[in-house]
Amino acid sequence: MSTIEEVAHTEDEQEPNIIEVSATLIGDENEDDDDDNQENEDRPAHQSAIMLSPERPGGEAELENSSDELTNPIEEENWRRRRKHVFILSSAGKPVFSRYGDESDFSELFGILQVLMSMAQSSGTNETLRRVTAGPEFVIHFHTVGELSYVMVSRTEESTKSCVRQLRLLHLQMLSVLPTVNAVLTKSPGYDVRRMFSNVDAAAMRQLIKRMSCDPTFIFRAASVVAMGLELRRDVERALVESRNHEVNPEDHLYSLALHDSALVASISPKDQPLHIDDFLLLINFVAIVCSNQQGEIWAPICLPKFNDTGYLWCYCTKFEPCGLTLVQLATAQDAFPALSRRATVVQQALQSKSLELQAVFKKSVGLNWTALSSWDPPSTLQWFAACTDAKQMVSTRLPLPLANSKQLKKFTLRLFARLRDKLGILSRASHPVIIHSTEEQSYVIVKLKTFEGFGLFLPCTPRKQMVDTVVRALKTTAAKESTVLLIKAVNWA
């Protein structure tokens, strides 16, 4: 039995005012999709009474190692038992992408999906189909942009906002590899987009879908930051800036990032063009894919849609060993590789004396270390804590062993936090809102302060007030050490 409590809480209150709300966490019909400027924001969702064949019992846990190709009845059965499918199709109903299996095997399904969308558009109100519900846990989400439609078939009980956010990011991922795709389909609606879509592009799409289910950076839409001393971080930032100034004509060089396992160490950008969080997510997903397939210096085109959705930038990345720092540089010119390679050498030489120090930091950078931050020792009932800022940055503690060792439990926990976060934004208008969700196994708490948002996972026996006070104290401790755990100010090119 689970309960949710919404708390209007301020720091000076001794006993917060508890309001009981529904424990149903499926997205509400009137739930806003996202507060980011999207053109279909105000269009109502269509609710359909069409009963589609429900998914058979089972889930992703038993299917982790199964093949993506539907070459026999057993694999087709496995495909039916997946808990989340993603499809991309053109306005002509042509298959573009399927998370599992071969798109060509689903031509009939894509045709049905296209008919559903066409029925909504021809209903007289010219509305776009947003969602079809078939049963309490079986939901189909639609997101159409230009000539492409993105469809998610889900039994994961994720909120509507979360699913739509994922589909929007998938559209940006499509633009990152094919920025002209809508122009091509507008001119030739029947064109087979898969001719332009490589195996690496499809792998990046599948990797992104996976990360949006189990990676806090993608679920909370905030850049994970490596906690480190301010002086060491400034050394890395200084090396990035000086490497760019090393060249005579650095105007083509837009962004430089220092990463460790997709977590941000330092970032330099033009003063008037900071890197958008969605572009950052696409970039680290891209870097993870290309670095897993290649070693040494990598040079590849990528479109960052929030920066410019009509053309490519050029991405240089290399990993410095043995310290484990990954350098990513973005330029506007295709012939900028030699200059960026020289700048990478300058960065590596500048940080050579810091190699052991960086190795030590990265070895410990599995999460926040309360002992290193302050003398405060959080209660043992606190299992996990994460803090997100309005600047789209986040830090967190080490995941407890049950979550770290179980992909399914980790997915469930992070998805539940995402649903609670969406609920909190809808239900509460308090200055410092709090939401608590309790089950027999865990208690989940989210606290929103002025510029910070805290997430706490507790043992179920923890008193309500202690949980709220602990998350508030953890947020205050994080804010007090902001210069150590976060990138507190933007660094721009001189």
Residue entry with tokens 């290399």:
318
- Could you tell me how far CA 162 lies from the centroid of its own chain? 10
Residue with token string 């993603």: 86
Helix (H, G, I), strand (E, B) or coil at 388: strand
- Can you list the residues of the chain whose pLDDT is less than 50? 1-4, 6, 8-71, 74
Q: Identify the pLDDT of residue 72.
A: 52
**pTM score:** 0.83
Q: Using CA atoms, how far apart are residues 296 and 319, in angstroms rounded to an integer?
A: 7
User: In the numeric block, which tokens belong to residue 65?
Assistant: 């190692």
Predicted confidence at residue 69, as pLDDT, reads 44
Placement of tokens 């105000």 in the chain: 42
Q: In this predicted structure, what is the pLDDT of residue 16?
A: 42
Say whether 181 sits in a helix, a strand or coil: helix
What is the pLDDT, as a whole number, of residue 60?
38
**DSSP structure class, residue 225:** B
Query: What is the reported pLDDT for 128?
Result: 76
Which of 71, 54, 154, 149 minimizes the C-alpha distance to 110?
149
How buried is 249 (Cβ within 10 angstroms: 0-12 exposed, 13-18 middle, 19+ buried)? exposed
Q: How far is CA 165 from CA 142, 213, 461, in A?
A: 11, 12, 34
Query: Which amino acid is located at 328 in the chain?
Result: V
Q: Domains of the chain, with CATH numbers?
A: 31-197 (3.40.1840.10), 224-364 (3.30.450.30), 366-485 (3.30.450)
3-class secondary structure, 17: strand
Residue 54: cis peptide before it, omega within 30 degrees of 0: no
CA–chain centroid gap for 47, Å, is: 27
Phi, psi (5° rounding) for residue 145?
-135, 115
